[in-house]
Structure 1
């Protein structure tokens, strides 16, 4: 069973839960940007949560099935078509051999996901099928899909196909959002005014947003003046190199915060003033350019509680 890629879309890649344990040598965790949406479509077709899916960014692909298949599409709202006829998102879709699946324009968000019963069956690389395009690692030949590719599908699914998913469990894609953060490690380098600006301002996501990071526009953030130590850059936002947590917020030069995401580099010389909590990384990934965003500081206890809520939500999906 294969999916023949007739049109690749803008950036369609194979992704799964991610590649863990190699960040210390510069290989990011990767995986689906919006993990919850990817897991839901896997559940709909009877896959485990670990199976690889297609991540479609902005403009989706067009593909043809070589054999009967069951697929599901979820994530950012988009028109889904089978042989030109519109079908529903968030539902299992039965396909015959030779059926063609295509997509319309996004109606919100950034990415949506296509699961196929059996999972996308590309080779495991360092424990994951996820594509890390910058390193030409994993996925389908280490790159985004191209016209003419024959993407293999596995036959390991053992779960039941679901009729659908309750609307209240489906992720939302609002034009305004609040993202919870833990302050640190270098928030002490901001002045009181600078910290207030970060937390009290509404930030707008710019078009400079990809799997590595998302850049926001807004007011300038004030840093404390200091004599920079040896090895740091000349700007107050520079530090002697340090490791970056996934979700770290940097503000180079005091302008345009950047939030590191799934394909983030593992270290560098910009101060991290806060980190998006793990429970909100999916919501961050759902933001389209122009999304109005507030960063809300929470405690470690609140962050852990939010993570537990996310796990409970997933248990309600998988049963």
Structure 2
């Protein structure tokens, strides 16, 4: 499928196919005729599919029957642009690119994704986090600012990470270990989990997302639970966010609920 950020391409189809458009709400047209999102859409050979600007969120997705038939790299047909891996020469798409479709699946289709299984898009979010590993480096006031303050997503946001502005936090004044650097937000290099929250200098939290580096020298004061990572990815600059501390048990319960939603989708698609 194609991932489209903020605005979409113009797609010309040379054969009859079926598409579905999901994700952020966006006007979708086949030969200038509006069609519904989250539904099977028949596209005849010679038709052109176009899109407006998204109305909320950041990304929408275009899937075509048979999938986009590019080489498999590391078990995936996706594109990782920072590493120039996969897709078409490991880069974003350009005007004139030709995307071959694979053989159509014989699995029965379904008409649309039920409303209750579609994500919500909002200008305010509550993001659940597990505190640690380095939250002990925060003062009580710093911890309170993180969990009680309102944070706003800045325009510095992509698949690698999302930066937030807000009240800032306070770090404890304690000796730094050898090799950690002078700033209290620094640590001796360590591995980063996906969803780690770091606050370089104590000002703007950064949530590390799917394309982030896997390690470095900033303290991780918390981690977004896996069930809320999609929520974070849907946020647009200006989205107000509150970080809500949860327990490991609550995080695991949320993960199970998220997995059940995905299983319902898999049942619909015959996966």
Return the alpha-carbon distance in structure 2 between the equivalents of residues 219 and 63 of structure 1: 44
Counterpart in the other structure of 2:27: 79
Q: CA offsets, 1:120-177, max 9 Å, x none?
A: 1111111111211111011221011001111121115232221112112110001111
Mapping of 1:16-35 within 5 angstroms?
Answer: none
Q: TM-score, normalised by structure 2?
A: 0.96
Return the alpha-carbon distance in structure 2 between the equivalents of residues 188 and 212 of structure 1: 26
* RCO comparison, higher one (Cα < 8 Å, 6+): 1
Determine whether 1:65 maps to 2:3.
no
Structure 1 counterpart SS, 2:170: coil
Determine whether 1:121 maps to 2:82.
no
Counterpart in the other structure of 2:141: 193
Return the alpha-carbon distance in structure 2 between the equivalents of residues 303 and 78 of structure 1: 32
Return the alpha-carbon distance in structure 1 between the equivalents of residues 184 and 54 of structure 2: 40
Counterpart in the other structure of 1:131: 79
Counterpart in the other structure of 1:293: 241
Determine whether 1:54 maps to 2:2.
yes
Counterpart in the other structure of 2:259: 311
Structure 1 counterpart SS, 2:230: helix
Is contact 1:119–1:157 with CA below 8 Å preserved after alignment? no
Structure 2 counterpart SS, 1:73: strand
Structure 1 counterpart SS, 2:256: helix
Number of residue pairs matched? 267
Counterpart in the other structure of 1:216: 164
Mapping of 1:93-172 within 5 angstroms?
Answer: 93-172=41-120
Return the alpha-carbon distance in structure 2 between the equivalents of residues 87 and 233 of structure 1: 56
Q: CA offsets, 1:155-208, max 9 Å, x none?
A: 152322211121121100011111111111101111111111111111100110
Counterpart in the other structure of 2:175: 227
Deviation at 1:318, TM superposition (A): 2.4
Gapped regions of structure 2 (runs ≥ 5): none
Q: CA offsets, 1:68-119, max 9 Å, x none?
A: 1100001001100111111111111101111111110111000000111111
Counterpart in the other structure of 1:7: none
Determine whether 1:242 maps to 2:190.
yes
Is contact 1:179–1:294 with CA below 8 Å preserved after alignment? yes
Counterpart in the other structure of 1:284: 232
Return the alpha-carbon distance in structure 1 between the equivalents of residues 253 and 105 of structure 2: 32
Structure 1 counterpart SS, 2:99: strand
RMSD of Structure 2 on Structure 1 (CA): 0.9
Deviation at 1:223, TM superposition (A): 0.6
Counterpart in the other structure of 1:259: 207
Return the alpha-carbon distance in structure 2 between the equivalents of residues 176 and 229 of structure 1: 38
Return the alpha-carbon distance in structure 2 between the equivalents of residues 315 and 126 of structure 1: 25
Deviation at 1:226, TM superposition (A): 1.9
Return the alpha-carbon distance in structure 2 between the equivalents of residues 163 and 312 of structure 1: 21
Structure of higher CA gyration radius: 2
Deviation at 1:229, TM superposition (A): 1.8
